[in-house]
Amino acid sequence: MKSFIITIDGPAASGKEKIAKFISRKYKLKHIDSGLIYRKIAFFLINKKIKTKEYYKIKKIMEIFDFKKISLRNDKRLRNEKIGKYASKIAVYSFVRKFVNFFQHKFVKNNSKSKGFVIDGRDIGSVVFRNADLKLYIEVNAKNRANRRYKQLIDMGEKSIYPKILKGIKLRDIKDKKRKNSPLIKPKGCIVINNNGSFRNTISQINEVISKKLN
């Protein structure tokens, strides 16, 4: 039987990962966090002291990059602003996106006996898994996203300034929507989930959508 695939798209800091983890636990689906893959590549390149503008150096490394170096296990070291900014800059390169997309398809294929997958990112339903069984798009205004990101960084012990985070998120939105390779859009046939309120309200919307899809 074909595995059930749920995609979750949305802008930066919209709560995609938290929502995906909830769906993964409740419906026993494997979770793929595409942003985590980009951050792990970024972490590797930073340790190699390679700058984001060194296009050909990065391309050469990606051509021989070992898939085994990437684990889907979360790592708190990767959640800081430095790695996030680096990851967003290399994500515009088509060869980096191609590598990440191939990795995700390979993971799904290698785990084909699983009940299904929930995959979150910014182009998952629009590009990577266009034929997904259910596509969700998470919508949250910039101020709420900045506030949540600010609290997250403070809890992690990282110094942060709210206005700076808000400015960064707005700039990230513009770049994501205008980038040449896989811009951020609402995937065709997606269901929009409003995540501006409480998480309880958000999961109530999601449970209703998924239950209708599964029944």
pTM of the model: 0.89
Does residue 95 carry a pLDDT above 90?
Answer: yes
Instruction: Note the pLDDT tens digit of each residue in 17-36.
Output: 999 999 999 999 999 999 99
Listed in sequence order, the residues at least 6 apart from 143 whose beta carbon sits closer than 8 Å to its beta carbon are 166
Instruction: Note the pLDDT tens digit of each residue in 46-78.
Output: 999 999 999 999 999 999 888 777 888 878 788
The whole-chain average pLDDT of the chain stands at: 92
Whole-number pLDDT of residue 71:
81
Does residue 80 carry a pLDDT above 90?
Answer: no
